[in-house]
Structure 1
Amino acid sequence: MQRRLTFFGGKKDVQIPEKDQGREIKNLEMASANIGLLAPALVGAGAFFLLNQLFQVKGESDKEGGSVTGNLGSIIYTGIATTGLSYYIYNVLIAAGSRPLYAFMPFSWALGVMILYYAAVYNWIYRISPGSFEGDFGETPLEQLVSFIYFSIATFSTGGWGNFVPKSNTAKMLISMQLLFFVFIFTMGLVFFINP
């Protein structure tokens, strides 16, 4: 007999046949190994970091508009990357079944990828359109990178922005996507990790 949580948080004793006892772990391993869902975020973070750091992309003006193509492409690609991350986390938590703590490491890796991805895209938007954000991000690329990692963590963890303020619609849309991702993660946490 194994005690499992029900959908509404109750507990129920379930007899699991011997042949199915290892299946939950196998399903979790398969869901965790499906890093193809993380690929858009990983590739995007790498591409944004490379464009920012190696080629020193810098927008010409301090206007809020900036490059329409760069801004629109960033929003669309961020939507794809966020959807992949969300689906990966959902699959991992579903596969974990009655053992949600087994999903902790894949879940943590996905959150780390998300934080780095959003830091990279915020840095990219700031580079192509310096008027997108208001605040002191530093002068060197490393200082800016650290500032945007901080900004990404602050946005994800508290919904606040710290001492940086988004000014452009592109920055606001990207922050909205990250906050919606936070709401999704919070909801998944309520469903899968609460043990009354």
Structure 2
Amino acid sequence: MVQRDELKGQCPPHIWYPPHTCPANSPFVEWGKGAINSSETFPKPEHESVGPSERDIAVADIWPLLPATIGAGATILLLLMANHKQWNNERDDEDFEGFPEPQDTPVGSAVVVIYSIIATAGVSYYVFRVLTSTDGHMLTTFIPVASAISLLLIYFAAAYDLEYHMVPGSFSGKRFGNDIVSELFTFVYFSVTTFATASMGDFSPISDASRILVTLEVLFFIYIFTMGIVFFADP
């Protein structure tokens, strides 16, 4: 009898073994020892809400990249529009010899240099935030950091090309290109080799503004190199 009383309110052993308390709506429930009172309320398990991590916030917070993005896009668009206008004039006039050489514009060069400093500072700050919020996980930092660096390299290529058109003789070298598109490819090559400090010497900055731009890009490489050492050396 004692064993039978203890099994009241529990499912038969041939269904669940060892015997468990039946659900409240089960026909096997008998009010007794071990029965479930359907009127009782059970507290819901508290699940800790997991929000975005610090790394996710740093990666998604892309406002420091806006100066480089806007600058590169606007410069490339301006150069392409100028190239399209020149191509139309050459097509309409067979005797067209091209636009006259642009005059030296120190104000324009100063604007390019100042804006380049702002763009470089923004990308540097973004890289710093991403590297300092990932707890040493390399895979979670590679894509955002590589994307930010590539963006700045493209910006510098566009800035070099713009300086090349604003200031005659700002760069020395051969085979810059016959149009804006080929020039952009040339200056992308120059930007990448400058950043990697592996310049072959086929192109060189001559004007003060172009030298400042090259120096700024090399300083950015030193910053990235130093941050990489600190990031990987930190256990």
What is the TM-score when the length of structure 1 is the normalising length? 0.81
Per the alignment, residue 55 of structure 1 pairs with 82
Question: 2: CA distance between counterparts of 1:188 and 1:142?
Answer: 34
Question: Which stretch shows the higher mean deviation, 100-109 or 88-97?
Answer: 100-109
Spell out, residue by residue over 1:96-148, the C-alpha distance to the aligned partner (whole angstroms, 9 max, x if none): 12323311110010011011000000010001113100112011111101000
Q: 1:153 aligns with which of 189, 192, 216?
A: 192
**Residues 21-32 of structure 1 mapped to structure 2, 5 A cutoff:** 26-32=53-59
- Structure 1 stretches of 5 or more lacking a match? 1-18
1:134 equivalent in alignment to 2:172: yes
The structure-2 alpha-carbon separation of the partners of 1:61 and 1:194, relative to structure 1 and needing over 3 Å to count, comes to same
Per the alignment, residue 184 of structure 1 pairs with 223
How many residue pairs end up in the alignment?
A: 173
What is the TM-score when the length of structure 2 is the normalising length? 0.68
Question: 1: CA distance between counterparts of 2:180 and 2:62?
Answer: 29
One-letter amino acid of the structure 2 residue matched with residue 186 of structure 1: F
Spell out, residue by residue over 1:77-109, the C-alpha distance to the aligned partner (whole angstroms, 9 max, x if none): 000000000000000000112323311110010
Identity of aligned residues (%): 38
Question: 2: CA distance between counterparts of 1:28 and 1:59?
Answer: 50
Per the alignment, residue 211 of structure 2 pairs with 172
Secondary structure, aligned partner of 1:98: coil
- Structure 2 stretches of 5 or more lacking a match? 1-47, 87-97
**Residues 67-106 of structure 1 mapped to structure 2, 5 A cutoff:** 67-106=105-144
Question: 2: CA distance between counterparts of 1:59 and 1:157?
Answer: 34
RMSD of the TM alignment (CA)? Answer: 2.2
**Higher RCO (C-alpha under 8 Å, 6+ residues apart):** 1
Structure having the higher helix fraction is 1
1:124 equivalent in alignment to 2:151: no
One-letter amino acid of the structure 2 residue matched with residue 143 of structure 1: S
Measured after TM superposition, the shift of residue 166 of structure 1 is 0.6
- Structure whose CA Rg is larger: 2
Question: 2: CA distance between counterparts of 1:182 and 1:44?
Answer: 20
Secondary structure, aligned partner of 2:178: coil
1:33 equivalent in alignment to 2:72: no
